[in-house]
Chain A
Amino acid sequence: MSTATVNPVPPAGRVPPRVVDPAAAVARTRPRPSAAEAVSQTLSMAWRALKKMRRNPEQFFDVTLQPLLFTAMFAYVFGGAISGNVRGYLPLMIPGIVAQTVLTTCMSSGVQLREDMDKGVFDRFKALPIARIAPLAGPMIADLVRYLIAAGLTFVMGLIIGYRPGGGVPGVLGAIALAIFTGWSIAWVFTWVGTIARNARSVQGFSMLILFPLTFLSNAFVPVRTLPSGLAAFVKINPVSHLVSATRDLANHAAISGEVGWTLLAGLVVIAVFAPLSVRSYRRHL
Chain B
Amino acid sequence: MTATAAIDAAGLVKTFGGLRAVDGIDLDVRQGEIFGVLGPNGAGKTTTLKMLATLLPIDAGQARVFGVDVAREPHRVRQLLGVTGQYASVDEDLTATENLWLFGRLQGLRSADARAAARRLLGQFGLEDAADKPIAQFSGGMRRRLDLAASLITRPPLIFLDEPTTGLDPRTRGQMWDTIRGLVADGCTVLLTTQYLDEADQLADRIAVIDHGRKVAEGTPEELKTSVGDSALQLRLAPDADTGLARQVVRRVTGAEPVLTPESGRMNVPLDTPDQAADVLIGFRQAGVTVISVSVAKPTLDEVFLAITGHGTGQAGDPDAAGPAAAERPPLEVK
Using CB atoms and an 8 Å cutoff, list the residues of chain A in contact with chain B. 1-7, 16, 18-23, 25-26, 28-33, 37, 40-41, 44-45, 47-48, 51-52, 55-56, 117-130, 134, 198, 285-286
Contact = CB atoms under 8 A, between A and B. Distances in A.
B259 interface: no
B91 interface: yes
Size category of the B interface is: 35 or more
Interface stretch (B97-105, B220-228, B297-305): B97-105
A126 B178 contact: no
Nearest to B66: A26
A119 B332 CA distance: 11
Given A6-B178, A6-B183, A118-B332, A30 B75 contact: yes
B155 interface: yes
B179 A31 contact: no
A127 B76 contact: no
A41 B87 contact: no
12 contacts: A2-B126, A3-B126, A22-B31, A22-B80, A22-B158, A30-B79, A31-B73, A124-B83, A126-B55, A129-B76, A134-B106, A198-B335
B182 interface: yes
Contacts of B311: none
A286 B85 contact: no
Contacts, number: 158
Contacts of B178: 4-7
Interface string B305-331: 000000000000000000000000001
Contacts of A21: 157, 187
B182 A7 contact: yes
Contact of A4 (B67, B68, B124, B155): B124
Given A4-B176, A23-B4, A29-B76, 9 more contacts: A2-B129, A4-B126, A6-B183, A7-B185, A16-B185, A19-B186, A25-B66, A127-B78, A129-B78
Interface in B154-213: 155-158, 175-176, 178-179, 181-183, 185-189
